[in-house]
């Protein structure tokens, strides 16, 4: 932490050497837990780091690993709870982000890759507005056609 601001780990190495462990930490009440220490450790190579959760309970730890680290055991610990995972990725894929998500607690489990609800609501609003506009134009067009038919039928009756 520098100057009261949390430090951010930025991995500048290539995607095929970067491995990320991220997730959320929540309390028993389901609310996100801010400023919690999370230990993420590759126990085979005895390398680990402690990161803090942000205001949303999210944490992220980046490692520099190689293909021979595939399958290494990971220890992730937060709020006195531990989870065991393994380093997993496709060693032939040199471009996709190598990442796993490990969450603690209940109720605040989120997927950082999922689309937020506001996107669906906003898209639904746009679709409704466009549909309403098109419907309005169609109804107006039909009414004009009906009026023309009424006037043209009136002229033929003379």
Segments making up each domain of the chain, as ranges: 15-101, 115-158
Burial of 63 (0-12, 13-18, 19+ CB in 10 A): buried
- Burial status of residue 21 (CB atoms within 10 A of its CB: 0-12, 13-18, 19 or more): buried
| pTM of the predicted structure, to 2 decimals | 0.59
Domain 15-101: top CATH class: mainly beta
pLDDT at position 1 is 42
pLDDT in tens, 140-156: 888 888 887 776 665 55
């Amino acid at each position: 932490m520098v100057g009261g601001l949390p430090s951010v780990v930025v991995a500048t190495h290539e995607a095929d050497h970067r491995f990320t462990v991220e997730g959320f930490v929540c309390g028993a009440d389901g609310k996100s837990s801010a400023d919690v220490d999370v230990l993420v450790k590759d126990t085979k190579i005895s390398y680990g780091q402690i990161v803090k959760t942000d205001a949303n309970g999210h944490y992220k730890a980046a490692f520099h690993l190689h293909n021979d680290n595939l399958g290494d055991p990971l220890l992730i610990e937060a709020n006195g709870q531990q989870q065991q995972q393994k380093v997993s990725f496709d060693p032939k894929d040199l471009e996709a982000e190598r990442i796993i998500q490990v969450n603690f607690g209940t109720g605040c489990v989120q997927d950082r890759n999922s689309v937020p609800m506001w996107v669906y609501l906003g898209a639904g609003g746009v679709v409704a507005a466009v549909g309403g506009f098109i419907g309005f134009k169609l109804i107006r067009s039909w009414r004009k056609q009906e009026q023309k038919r009424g006037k043209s039928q009136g002229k033929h009756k003379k």
